[in-house]
Structure 1
Amino acid sequence: MASPMHTEFVHIPAGAAHVEGMLELPPDPVGVVLFAHGSGSSRFSPRNNAVAGALRNARIGTLLVDLLTPQEDQTYRTRFDIALLTQRLQLAAERLHTLPRTRALPIGLFGASTGAAAALRLAAAQGSEIAAVVSRGGRPDMAGLPALNKVAAPTLLIVGSLDTAVIELNQIAYAALHCAKRLEIVRGAGHLFEENGKLEAVSALAGDWFLRHMGAGESEGRPPRPPAAGRDEKRAH
């Protein structure tokens, strides 16, 4: 009989505020992914939860957190404070290092919108402690060139082909990355990937990226695929 999913509410002090999240671990996880939501969103985001569910089906644990309090999320300036979002994300990552069930697991970061910028800044600061980063419809450009230049973790940027303005911003960020990287453009998808089958495409891309860079591909006898070199690579999904 298969072991049940482990679910744990996580409460993290953050100065005068606190970060709340939900940790869910499948049996025998190969790693854990920390989600950084975008402005105006939360750990209850249906899109992030759909991706998280697919990752757990692939034996990857997930921690979805609220990086801002409800009051902070009402303020435009706070919602776009990348430094604050990064600080809160770091606190969540540090908690994963202390929890008995996750402290030995590789950590990945999944960011959407402004959360992608926070994920990349954290990856730049933590170096090899971050196994991989995935951005969905993100604003990686908001991480800033100094941080993007320092990212060592393999990074996958996913953008919808209909999200033309964000494609350009992702191409700018992609050029500044010096790590293993890939830019995937999902044809027929808009900014939120609400079109039929497009969020499933995101989940498949993210799961494959995390599994390979968390070492699961090698451990299961599957050779890792080399990262794509061209930023203009496009695939239909």
Structure 2
Amino acid sequence: MDVRSSEVTIPAGDAELPADLRIPAEPAGVVLFAHGSGSSRHSPRNVAVAHVLNRRALGTVLVDLLTPAEEQVDVRTAELRFDIQLLAGRLAAIVDWLANARPFGPVPIGLFGASTGAAAALVAAAARTDRVGAVVSRGGRPDLAGPALGQVRAPTLLLVGGLDEQVITLNEQAQAAMPEIAELRIVPGATHLFEEPGALEQVADAAAEWFTTHLHRTPSPA
């Protein structure tokens, strides 16, 4: 499939965030990634998932949610990577940018969050119910989204490794706070980072299926 790559800087409040866009020739939707704590837009796992989505005609946005200066602070303190409200606010701002600037055209928007990024994605989805059409969490901590879970309206897929027992429990609790819209799937034999042979491929395929099924049911951004 013909996919065009582009590096851009996205305004998000008082921050300017570097991002990598991958734009299929005729995108059916776009998925914005929120990486986990201590990671970046170059996360090999998220890049691999993004390429699978691209093959399903979904555009992708891989973005650093912290500025370079903030990254330096976070390396020393590890405090900003757990600032869910900060990260969610920036995701919401990027959702607004996607809806208004339309680098992918007037297509529906989904969110893919990993680890703590899943909590930020869900808080952003709760804040942008009119613009976020679907959410997928990979090994996520949706529990960190707190009261925002009950405000999410987008169909949400929670993917957890079968050997990641503590995170399974946390995802079960989050699912209970999201009646009727959240589905929990366990990837058998997988640990938190889905490093086992074939595990990440299962995640990518499930995410692609979820987005292609649910995003087309949402209206295009106004």
TM-score (norm 1): 0.86
Q: CA deviation at 1:17?
A: 3.2
AA in 2 matched with 1:165: Q
How far 1:128 sits from its partner (Å)?
A: 3.1
Deviations 1:104-135 (A, max 9, x none): 11000000011000000011111131110000
Q: Deviations over 1:61-102 (max 9, x none)?
A: 000000012342323211100010011111211221123442
Q: Verify: 1:64 aligned to 2:65, yes or no.
A: no
- What CA distance in whole angstroms lies between the structure 1 residues aligned with 2:111 and 2:129? 12
Give the distance between the partners of 1:174 and 1:69, measured in 2 at CA.
Answer: 32
Q: How many residues align?
A: 213
Partners of 1:14 and 1:104 lie apart in 2 by 20
Higher relative contact order (CA 8 A, sep 6+): 2
Correspondence for 1:228: none
Aligned to 2:84: 82
Greater shift in the superposed pair: 132-141 or 61-70: 61-70
Within the alignment, does 1:184 sit opposite 2:185 as a pair?
yes
* Alpha-carbon shift at residue 179 of structure 1 (Å): 4.4
Q: Which amino acid aligns with 1:170?
A: N
Alpha carbons 2:24, 2:59 under 8 Å: kept: yes
Structure 2 residue matching 1:152: 3-state secondary structure = coil
Aligned match for 2:113, one of 111, 114, 118: 111
| Cα-to-partner distance string for 1:27-70 (whole Å, 9 max, x where unaligned) | 21110000000110000000000000000001110000000123
The alignment partner of 2:200 has SS state of: helix
Percent pairwise identity = 55
Q: Letter of the aligned partner of 1:63 in structure 2?
A: V
1:213 and 1:131 mapped to 2: Cα distance?
Answer: 7
Segments of structure 2 that go 5 or more residues without pairing to the other structure are 218-222
Contact 1:151/1:179 (CA < 8 Å) preserved in 2? no
Report the CA distance between 1:178 and its aligned residue: 2.8
Q: How does 1:1-237 map to 2 (within 5 A)?
A: 4-73=2-71, 74=75, 75-144=77-146, 146-215=147-216
Q: Any unmatched runs of 5+ in structure 1? A: 217-237
Normalised TM-score (structure 2): 0.91
Pair 15,122 (structure 1): closer, same or farther in 2 beyond 3 Å: closer
Deviations 1:133-176 (A, max 9, x none): 000000000000x2000100000000000111100110110100
In the alignment, is the contact (CA less than 8 A) between 1:42 and 1:66 conserved in 2? yes
Q: For residue 128 of structure 1, give the secondary structure of its aligned residue in structure 2.
A: coil
**Structure 1 stretch 44-53 or stretch 100-109: which is displaced more?**
100-109
Secondary structure in 2 aligned to 1:55?
Answer: helix
C-alpha separation in 2, matches of 1:179 and 1:147? 15
Does the CA contact (< 8 Å) of 2:92 and 2:127 recur in 1? Answer: no
* Partner Cα distance (1:109, 1:182) in 2: 15
